Structure formats: structure tokens, C-alpha cells
Chains A and B, each alone.
Chain A
Amino acid sequence: MNALEIKDLYKSFKVGFIPKKKEILKGISLSVKKGNIYGYLGPNGAGKTTTIKTILGLIFPDKGEIKIFGRNHLDIKAKKKIGFLPENPYFYDYLTAYEFLNFYMKLSNSHHKNNEKRINELLNLVGLKSHSNLQLRKFSRGMLQRIGIAQALISDPELVILDEPLSGLDPIGRKEIRDVILKLKEEGKTVFFSSHILQDIEMICDRVGIIIDGRIISQGELEDLISEEILYTEITVSGVPEIELKNFGETVASKGEKVLLKIYRKEKIEEIVSFIISKKGKIHSLIPRTYTLEDIFLGAVQRK
């Protein structure tokens, strides 16, 4: 059974003073396997948040079907299996971290056993144990994001839906959240998260769906989408004059002694390596660039 199954989802909003229909989702179909991390990738305004809100029953689709572990998504039993973190979350800033989690704890389960233990566990998981008595109004952006994730995990959900969980965070914050997501996967949970940043998705996702302008234009396992084929190789060298390197490939940048070259043909790589060694030059790096998600993504956006 799939953790999440969306079939042919349509949604339009009426906008403007004289209401005009604007189609946001134009037939979204996707499926998320149990235990996977699914990356929902798309530029701003493509319909990512609208899809997520529809899954959660915050908005109602014009047409289409959503199943969560085989149940209709509006079913309370289905909702019990979901944890959700909205985009740019704002929380009750008059509550302390502990009160905040306690509030959601009470809303999520009817039998209140070991509440305190679970809350402390979560505060530990997101690294906010020492701030449990601090009001949320004093939290930084990264801390809010982390307490938001703790809130999403409060009922130990099987499917965790995160809307842009990594946006607006510094590199350390991003790493922390990525680690939490990977940890969830280890625990056997399913994670569905949206992002407009490719790196995030490439780094941790098993399966990717790319949405552009309300339609999914590409979907599949990450390995299938990204081929192993080498597009070109980047090589950084020094100790050899730039002019002498021209025959091997295209110069991308040069800084001081160092020159960055892009080499498209395979046989040229061996040639340049032996050439540099013979000239007593130095190779700083040699990186083969494969077909990435970025290429698929940019290609698709350009075609639109």
C-alpha cells in the first residue's frame, strides 16, 4: 500500500474583484511509497503548497482523489497518521516550547500517557531541550523551524509532510533539518517534502516529482531520473600557462595561477593529465559532472 496516493487532482481559485477562475492544479497524480523520502520539487508558484494543503484538507479540490494509507484523506483516522509542518510557520508566540508541544500533544491523541516523556524526547531530537521554558516569541527562525518539526512529529505519525522545511535557514540549520529527515526514514517513516532547492532534494530523496505550472512533468526514482552519463569534466590546474590549455577544452575561469577548464571529450582528459604532468604543473581537482536534477529542472522550465 502506498503511504500517499493522489489521482488527477484539480483545483482552481477565483481571484480578483470580478472573480476570475485561476487554475492552480491541473491534474496532479503522484504516489509515495511507504518508507520513502519523496521530494516535491517546483519553482515558486507552481502549486506545491496548494497540493499539500489539499492533502491536509485545508482546501477542497475541484476534482480528484487523495488516499492516505488507503483511506480518504479527510477521514480522521487518516489524519491521525499525518504530521505536518507548514511553510514559514508562525506559532502561538505566547506559549513556551513545552506548552506549545503539550497543546498539540493533547490535540493529537485522546489518551494522555507519557506526554511529558514524549515531549522531552522531541525537544531532544530537535535540540531545544535547554529552551523548553522559553516563549516562542524569543525563538530564532531556525529554532522555530525545529520546534515546528517537533510539532509535526508529536503523534509519532507515519507520514510526515513538510512544506519547504529548509527555506530560510543557514547552512547549519539546513544540515540539522536534513539529518532529522534522514533519521525519520531510518525509523521507517514516510516523508513528503516540498522544496524549490535542488540540492536538498538530490541529497536525501528516494523519489522525486517535479511540478511546474500545476502539472507534474517528471516523476520517478532519483537514480532513474539522473543518468550516470558524464556530461563533461571540470578540472582545475595551475603551473601551466592558460594559452597552452586551450586545445583541451573550454576555460571557464582563471584566478591567479589556477585555471578551471570544462572538458567535453573523454579522450581529452587523459591527454590533458599527461600534458600537465609533463609540464610539471599541478592538478587541484578533477570532477566529472553527470546529468543532474538541475538539468532536468532547468530543461523543463525552459520548455515551458
Chain B
Amino acid sequence: MKILTIALNTFKEAIRDRILYLILFVSIFFIVFSRVLSMITVGDELKVIKDVGLASISIFGVFMAIIIGTNLVYKEIDKRTIYTLLSKPIHRYEFLLGKFLGLNITLLVMVVIMSVVFFGLMFLYGSKFESKFLIAILLIFMELAVITAISILFSSFTTPILSSVFTFFLYLIGHFSQNFKFFIAKTKAPIGKLLIRVLYYILPNLEKFNIKTEVVHNLPLSSNFILYSLLYGIFYVLAVLFLSALIFHKRDFI
């Protein structure tokens, strides 16, 4: 109950923040702009709309997740609103979970708005509704949840600028971490091998949430892969939140 109260307040704070609307506006611009791109492309016009549309939802969703994720937790500490909050009969982890939930509600609303525009555009240009696009967007949202959790982890001990940078780097690395397997095979020194292997397991593997190519180009998709990706996302989020709660639990609010 208290977690929900904090979540709703976080949501209220996020949607009364102008920066979010700016990103939303730009993202909608890009989704619609995909139509212009499709006109100057040779080949299947609809594919360009699908491709650029999904990519816009994903990229701008990540921007939103990083910006509000790193700001809204740190702001409570920086502006000292956390003093009054934690003096109430709540546990520190309830605060953290409330923040996480609130950020995700915000992101959900944003993703829904972008998706409505995306589906509307597809509909306008003669594509019929395909549920696999919803699954692609669901996985994008799962990725956003992972990124939000990571940004909460960083902002539980560092400043918003640093945590945005860290989170963004993890986002980039997360999309390349599959290549680590290649490194493991190529590295000869056993310590190096072990180190890369550890990194491979610790770092998020965000490519698991990326089925854009498969969806757009009608490639086969296994339901096992999707299920596994969702489970992976949920466990990753739980682990990161647990770690954040541990750090938060011991922290002094000076």
C-alpha cells in the first residue's frame, strides 16, 4: 500500500515534468517521420515504417528511463524530501520499490502513447494488426524496466550525471554483451577467460529483448525465446533492486 502511494506520487512528479513531454514529442515526430523515410526508400515502404517506428519506441523509451530514473531518486535525496519520507513509518526498501514502480507506470504510459501512434500509422498505410508487434513492444518495455532498475541502483549512491552516464554505458554494453562469448573463446589466459565470463554473466544482455528484426522481416520467432527473455528480465530486475536495497539500507543521508 505504501509502495503504491510512493509509486503514484512518483508518477505524478514525472508527468508534471516538462522534459518527459519533450522526449515524447520528439519520439512521435520520429515515428511519423518514418513515413517520409519510407517514401524515399526503394522496396517495401511498410517495412521502413515498422522498423523506424519500433526503433523510435525503443530508443526514446531508453532515454526516458535513464532521465527520469536517474533524476527522480537522486532528487529526493538532493532536495531532502527523503528526510520527511523516511521519518514516516516506512522501510527504506519500500521507498525504493515505490520509486521503481512509479517510474515503470510512467514509462508504461509513455510506451502506450508511442505505440498508439505507431499502430495508427501502420493502420493508415494498410497494414493489419499483428500481435507480434505487441510482443516486440512488451520486450522493449521489459528492457526499459531493466534500465530503470539499473539507473535506480546507480542513483542510490552517486549523482544523476554520473549515474546517467553509467546507465547509458551499461545500455550500450548490454547490447554488445553477446559478443563476450566470442571473446571468451578467443582469450587464452585462464584468468582473462574467467574475468570475461564473470562480466558476461553480471552485465545485462539486452539483445535478449530485441526482436525488432525478426518481427519486421517476418523471421521465425520461438515462443521459448520470448518466455526466456521475459524471465531473464524479471530476474535481472529483482537482482538489481535487491542490490540497490542493500546499498540503500546502509546508507547515511547526510
Contacts and interface: CB of A to CB of B under 8 A. Distances in A.
Contacts of B6: 107
Interface residues of B, number: 25
Interface string A81-111: 0111110111110110001000110111010
Contacts of A174: none
Interface in B211-254: 250, 252-254
A26 interface: no
Contacts of A145: none
Of the four ranges (under 10, 10 to 19, 20 to 34, 35 or more), the interface on chain A belongs to 35 or more
Given A76-B91, A86-B80, A107-B88, A13 B254 contact: yes
Interface stretch (A56-64, A164-172, A218-226, A252-260): A56-64
B252 A106 contact: no
Interface string A142-172: 0000001001100100000100000000000
A90 B5 contact: no
B188 interface: no
A80 interface: yes
A91 B83 contact: no
Nearest to B6: A107
Interface stretch (B9-17, B30-38, B47-55): B9-17
B16 A94 contact: yes
A58 B253 CA distance: 5
A94 to B, nearest CB: 4
B84 interface: yes
A95 B9 CA distance: 9
Contacts of B250: 60
A60 B5 contact: no
A59 B83 CA distance: 10
A107 B85 contact: yes
A53 interface: yes
B86 A58 contact: yes
A48 interface: no
Contacts of B80: 86, 88-90
Contacts of A108: 88-89
Interface of A: 13, 53, 56-60, 76-77, 79-80, 82-86, 88-92, 94-95, 99, 103-104, 106-108, 110, 148, 151-152, 155, 161
Interface of B: 1-2, 5-6, 9, 12-13, 16, 79-91, 250, 252-254
- 6 nearest CB pairs, A to B: A84-B87, A59-B252, A106-B5, A79-B89, A86-B83, A58-B253
